[in-house]
Structure 1
Amino acid sequence: MILPRGQALLLPANPVFIWGSLAAAFLLQVLQGQLTAAAWLPDWVALVLVFWTIHQPLRIGVGVAFVAGLCVDVHQGVLLGQHALAYTAMGYLAVTLHRRVLWFDLRGQTLHVLPLFAVAFGLQALVRLLAGHGDPPALAWIAPLLTAALWMPATWILLAPQRRAHDPDETRPL
């Protein structure tokens, strides 16, 4: 594959780092839930799931998204399967779009992942509505926008261990 102009060659992703970042996102989600119950805050697990599903679709896919959704459902005490359905649909769409998304710069990638987060949030709202829990608060619709806005810093942080050294020498020609 030919890399787009200006894109650096990356080292292979370390599986320990991938799973550790997913665990850290879940812990951040737990901490966020303990500190405040605001519905407009970003979904950290969804952000990291979409990131790794786009960058490593053979390691993180729809099955991992389903299990992560079940874990979030159990932690938040919501209707079992609400996040699992949303994350599974989001993971499927991310796998479907992963080749296309990687060809864009970070702003273009943000515009591509925003509908994924919106679909996931919309599915969660639909499940809650069908279960009789009512509509989400109006400010809750800001959550997909905030999650997508975090795409750029998340990309910078999660790809940092894979970046190669910029000073090539005789032992490292690339």
Structure 2
Amino acid sequence: MILPRGQALLLPANPVFIRTALVAAFVLQVLQGQLTAAPWVPDWMSLVLVFWTIHQPLRVGVGTAFVAGLCLDVHQGVLLGQHALAYTVMGYGAVAMHRRVLWFDLRAQALHVLPLFALAWGLQVAVRWLAGHGEPTGWGVLSPLLTALLWVPATWVLLAPQRRAPDPDETRPL
């Protein structure tokens, strides 16, 4: 595959770093849920899941999304399967579009993943509504938008370990 002009060649992703990023996203999601109950806050777990599903679809996929969703369901004490369903559908969409998304710049990538975040949010709202937990508020629509806005900084942070040279050398141009 020929890289687009200006795009750096990346090192292979470290599986330990991928797992650490997923655990950190889970912890952020849990802390966020304990600190605030605002419906507009970004979904950190979905952001990291979609990122790694697009960049490493053989290591992180639908199964990882399902397990992460179940862990969030159990921890938050919500309807079992609410996050699992949303993250599984979102993971399937990310796997389906992972080759196409990487050809765009970061802003266009954020626009491509926005429907995935909106779909996951909509599924969670629909499951809660069908279970009789009340109607959604209007501010919840901001959650997928804020999550998509975080795509660019998340990409910079999560790809940083892959950008460094394996053996730094002053005479090597790459």
TM over 0.5: yes
Equivalent-residue separation in structure 2 for 1:168 and 1:115 (angstroms): 42
Partner of 2:140: 140
Cα distance in 1, alignment partners of residues 158 and 31 from structure 2: 20
Q: In 2, are the aligned partners of 1:9 and 1:164 still within 8 Å (CA)? A: no
1:72 has 2:76 as partner: no
Q: Distance in 1 between matches of 2:27 and 2:8?
A: 30
Quote the offset at 1:97 in angstroms: 0.2
Give, as a single letter, the amino acid of the residue that structure 1 aligns with 2:96: T
In 2, distance between residues paired with 1:108 and 1:168? 34
The 8 Å contact of residues 70 and 80 in structure 1, kept in 2 or not, is answered as yes
Q: Which amino acid aligns with 1:44?
A: W
Instruction: Give, in angstroms, the shift of residue 33 of structure 1.
Output: 1.1
* TM superposition shift of 1:164: 3.4
Cα distance in 1, alignment partners of residues 81 and 140 from structure 2: 19
Q: TM-score, normalised by structure 1?
A: 0.95
Scaled by the length of structure 2, what TM-score is found?
0.95
Q: 1:57 maps to what in 2? A: 57
For structure 2, list consecutive stretches of 5 or more residues without a partner in the other structure: none
Q: Distance in 2 between matches of 1:168 and 1:97?
A: 37
Structure 1 letter corresponding to 2:118: A
8 Å CA contact 1:110–1:148 kept in 2: the answer is yes
- 1:152-163 superposed matches below 5 A: 152-163=152-163
- Identity of paired residues, percent? 78
Equivalent AA in structure 1 for residue 147 of structure 2: T
Q: Which runs of 5+ in 1 are unaligned?
A: none
Give, in angstroms, the shift of residue 134 of structure 1. Answer: 2.1
Paired residues, number? 172
CA displacement at 1:173 relative to structure 2: 5.3
Moved more, 33-42 or 107-116: 33-42
**Per-residue deviation at 1:169?**
4.6
Cα separation, 1, equivalents of 2:41 and 2:68: 18
Partner Cα separation in structure 2 for residue 159 and residue 92 of structure 1: 22
Q: Which amino acid in structure 2 is aligned with residue 147 of structure 1?
A: T
Aligned to 2:119: 119
- 2:6 maps to which residue? 6
The corresponding residue for 1:108 is 108
CA RMSD of aligned residues (A): 1.2
In the alignment, the residues of structure 2 paired with residue 134 and residue 30 of structure 1 have an alpha-carbon distance, to the nearest angstrom, of: 22
- Distance of 2:122 and 2:31 partners within structure 1: 24
Q: Distance in 2 between matches of 1:141 and 1:97?
A: 23
Alignment-derived partner of residue 42 in structure 2? 42
Asked if structure 2 preserves the Cα contact closer than 8 Å seen for 1:62 and 1:91, the reply is: yes
